Every structure is written in C-alpha cells, then in structure tokens.
Amino acid sequence: MDKISVIVSCYNEEESLPLFYKEMERVRIQDFENVDFEYIFVNDGSKDKTLQEMKELRKQDKKVRYISFSRNFGKEAAMYAGLEAATGDYVTLMDADLQDPPSLLRKMYDLIKNDGYDCVATRRVTRKGEPPIRSFFARVFYKLINKISDVEMVDGARDYRLMTKQMVNAIVSMKEYNRYSKGLFSFVGFNTKWLEYENIERVAGKTKWSFWKLFKYAIEGITAFSTTPLILASIIGLIFCVVAFILILVIIIKTLAFGDPTSGWPSLVCIVFFVSGVQLFSLGVIGQYLSKTYLEVKNRPIYIIKETEKDNQE
C-alpha cells in the first residue's frame, strides 16, 4: 500500500490548522481508500497555540506527527525539516491556510501513478486578493530572474506539490543554508506536470509575508540561482572606462585647440556622485554574494528541533 506524507509548515496558524486537518481528512476519506497517510506538522516557532493544536490532533490521530522548532526559522527551513522526516512513498507540501486545496491531491496522485510524472506542481494563474503593487513587483521579479538564471522559475508557482520519494531525496541532499525552494525544485529536474488553479484566499489568520520579507526572499532567489549581477558590475565598470577614455581624448583635444578656461564644476560633482553611486551599488552586489557565502561556510544547522511527537509518547 502506498503512503503519502503531507507536510504542513505552520507559523501562528492556531485558527487555520484545525480547519486544514478537517478538510484534509475529508478528502482523504473520500478520495484515498487504499492509501496510507502521514501528517507532518512543522511548528515554525509559533507564538500562539499552534503547538497545542498539533498535540491535540496527535492525541486523536496517530497519523499525525509534529516537529516543533526552537524558534522561527522560516518556511523554507520548515519545509526542509518536513521533507527530511517524511517516510511516505509520495510527499506533498501544503500551507495550513487552505490556499493549497487538498481536493487537488487525488488528481496529482493519479498523474504520478498513471502518467509517469515524478512531480505534480501547482501554479496559480490569478493573483486575486493580492495588493496590485505586490503583483506588479512579483511579475517584474519573475521576468528578471528567468533572464539571468539557468534554472526556470515559474511565475505563480506555489510550493504545493506532490513528489516521489526519489525527488524528495534529491532535494534533501541539497543541504544549502540559503534555501530558495522554487529554484531547488527546478534544479533537481525530474518530470514535472503543472496544474493551474485560481488563487484562493486564506481561510483564517493573516499572511506572514510583509513586502520587505518578500523583497529579501527575492534577493535570496537571485543570489542563490544566478551570478549574473556579479558580471553586471564588471560590464558597467568596463563601459565607464571606455566613456572616461573618450572624455579624456575630447578634453585634451579641446584644450589644445581652444586653451584652458576652467569650468564645469557642477558637471564634475554630478559625475562624482554618479560614479560613486555605481561603485557602492556594485560593492553591495558583491556584498550580497559574500554574505551568502559567509552563512554557507559557517555551516549552521538549517533548523533546530525543540520537540517532536516522539518526546510525548503516552
């Protein structure tokens, strides 16, 4: 009998988690007669009663397992912990807020079972219910990153997907600290089928992503999967050298032909500002990569577990 591991990362989801569990169980009973299930709830350092909810669910249902972090490590870390702990033949990643409809799971499972895919992933085709400015920047980001990165990033791709154990192992084998899953999923390859659906608003609670968090996540994605910005700095430098050389020639010729009236202070100041701006920007770009390398080299754990269901066996 096949077994599906359902991994749900939760950060302050005390309201959503019971709703999620109810809906998931409904789908399981209705659509999956001959399939074993395992729920892995990862508590990502929630400050509300999420952990208590998990323990409560564990009491009722031995299919439920939970992993509780010592603090908030971020969704990427939570997903990684879940993937490492999963024992199923197939593994799915879901959000606790029911934005990833469990009702799609049967279709995903059938596609893997019957059509030979290794992974069925989902993407939302609309960004309904999202601030327009956020959608705009998201679109710009995906255009940009697909130009400068080798792996393909799908616009609107969610983390919701069903994968074979083989693909999960490949992802778990990538132990990098700065995790950008959307990139990692396409990096490992395998046959992926994309399902599309309309955006669904979360059932309860509110989104954990501020604009600033998303911005930092975008930078993460770029530095993790592209080195083009580094090349960019060299190219800009080169262009500036050429321009400077031409300007020197122009000034020499002008001075020889017309004498040397001292002028041009305002333009000089502008140039100094502009060039030092470009330099600082390039330094910043290099700094981004350096800082990621720094964190990587320190080799810190991606997450720290405080307790799991194994610590609470009655």
Interface with ligand UDP by CB under 6 A: which residues?
9-11, 13, 44, 72, 74-75, 78, 95-97, 99, 202, 207-209
> Considering CB distances under 5 to 8 angstroms, the limit depending on partner class, which of ligand UDP, Mg ion, none binds residue 14?
none
What is the smallest separation between the CB atom of 121 and Mg ion, expressed in angstroms? Answer: 16
Output the DSSP codes for 168-190: HHHHHT---SS--HHHHHHHS--
Q: Quick check: 99 binds Mg ion (CB under 5 A)?
A: yes
Which residue carries 């608003």 as its tokens?
201
> Considering CB distances under 5 to 8 angstroms, the limit depending on partner class, which of ligand UDP, Mg ion, none binds residue 10?
ligand UDP
Q: Quick check: 97 binds Mg ion (CB under 5 A)?
A: yes
Q: Which is nearer to Mg ion, 181 or 223 (CB)?
A: 181
Q: Which is nearer to ligand UDP, 53 or 95 (CB)?
A: 95
Measured between alpha carbons, how far is 182 from 56 in angstroms, rounded to an integer? Answer: 32
Binding-site size, Mg ion (CB under 5 A): 4
| Two structure tokens written together for 65 | 């397992």
Q: Which is nearer to ligand UDP, 16 or 35 (CB)?
A: 16
Q: Which is nearer to ligand UDP, 11 or 66 (CB)?
A: 11
According to DSSP, the β-strands at 2-10 and 90-95 are: parallel
Q: Which is nearer to ligand UDP, 113 or 139 (CB)?
A: 139
Q: Which is nearer to ligand UDP, 176 or 201 (CB)?
A: 201
Q: Which is nearer to ligand UDP, 5 or 99 (CB)?
A: 99
What is the smallest separation between the CB atom of 204 and ligand UDP, expressed in angstroms? Answer: 10
Other Cβ atoms closer than 10 A to 303: 22
Cβ atoms 138, 211 nearer than 8 A:
no
Q: What share of the chain is helix, strand, coil (3-state, %, to 5)?
A: 55, 15, 30
- CA separation, residue 283 to residues 241, 286, 294 (Å): 17, 5, 16
> Considering CB distances under 5 to 8 angstroms, the limit depending on partner class, which of ligand UDP, Mg ion, none binds residue 11?
ligand UDP
> Considering CB distances under 5 to 8 angstroms, the limit depending on partner class, which of ligand UDP, Mg ion, none binds residue 75?
ligand UDP
What is the smallest separation between the CB atom of 196 and Mg ion, expressed in angstroms? Answer: 17
Measured between alpha carbons, how far is 215 from 255 in angstroms, rounded to an integer? Answer: 49
What is the smallest separation between the CB atom of 11 and ligand UDP, expressed in angstroms? Answer: 3
Cβ atoms 16, 49 nearer than 8 A:
no
Cβ atoms 44, 77 nearer than 8 A:
yes
- CA separation, residue 81 to residues 62, 95, 100, 220, 311 (Å): 19, 15, 19, 19, 17
Q: Which of 63, 165, 202, 292 binds Mg ion (CB under 5 A)?
A: 202
| Two structure tokens written together for 210 | 């501020």
Where along the sequence are the contacts to Mg ion (CB under 5 A)? 95, 97, 99, 202
